[in-house]
């Protein structure tokens, strides 16, 4: 997988939004609500599928295209929320991975779906 260039994506998003004068609609509340809608559209792709069927989503051109669109929409809204709030999404994500590594040590959590306080 390629690395993500957050700066490039943010720059393109900023230009896209500015050209349409949409910044006034991008309050953190509105962005969070839009994110939830897009998450629901992502989940809808998998609705009523078995585990095996869900593992095959994205293997054909049509389902892959839908999946790509919804993943991108979710990412865009999440990135916009972080940007509006002044959050460095890369830094906080890396910090959260480190925090989760401490909460879920591999020797205890490996192969287990249990929450950290149940390990």
- pLDDT for 21-44, tens place per residue? 999 999 999 999 999 999 999 999
Q: Is 14 within 8 Å of 84 (Cβ atoms)? A: no
pLDDT at 13: 97
Q: Is 74 within 8 Å of 45 (Cβ atoms)? A: no
CATH number, domain at 36?
1.10.287.1080
Residues 18 and 59 in one domain: yes
Q: What is the number of structural domains in the chain?
A: 2
Cβ of 23: how many Cβ atoms within 10 Å? 12
Residue 27 φ/ψ, nearest 5 degrees: -70, 155
Residues 77 and 93 in one domain: no
Residues 7 and 64 in one domain: yes
Residues 73 and 114 in one domain: no
Domain range holding 2?
Answer: 1-87
pLDDT in tens, 62-96: 889 999 999 999 999 999 999 999 999 999 999 99
Q: Is 102 within 8 Å of 112 (Cβ atoms)? A: no
**Can you give the pTM of this predicted structure?**
0.88
Residues 97 and 42 in one domain: no
Q: Is 79 within 8 Å of 13 (Cβ atoms)? A: yes
Indicate the Cα dihedral angle 16, 18, 23, 25, nearest 10°: -70
CA triple 94-116-37, angle to 5 deg: 60
More confident residue, 118 or 17: 17
Residues 55 and 27 in one domain: yes
């Amino acid at each position: 997988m390629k690395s993500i260039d957050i700066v490039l994506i943010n720059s393109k998003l900023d230009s896209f939004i500015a050209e349409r004068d949409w910044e006034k609609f991008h309050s953190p509340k509105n962005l969070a609500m839009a994110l939830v809608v897009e998450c629901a559209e992502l989940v809808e792709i998998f609705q009523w599928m078995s585990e095996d069927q869900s593992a095959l989503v994205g293997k054909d051109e049509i389902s892959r295209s839908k999946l790509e669109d919804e993943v991108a929409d979710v990412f865009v809204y999440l990135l916009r929320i972080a940007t509006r709030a002044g959050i460095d999404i890369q830094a906080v994500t890396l910090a959260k991975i480190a925090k989760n590594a401490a909460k879920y040590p591999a020797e205890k959590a490996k192969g287990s779906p249990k929450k950290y306080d149940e390990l």
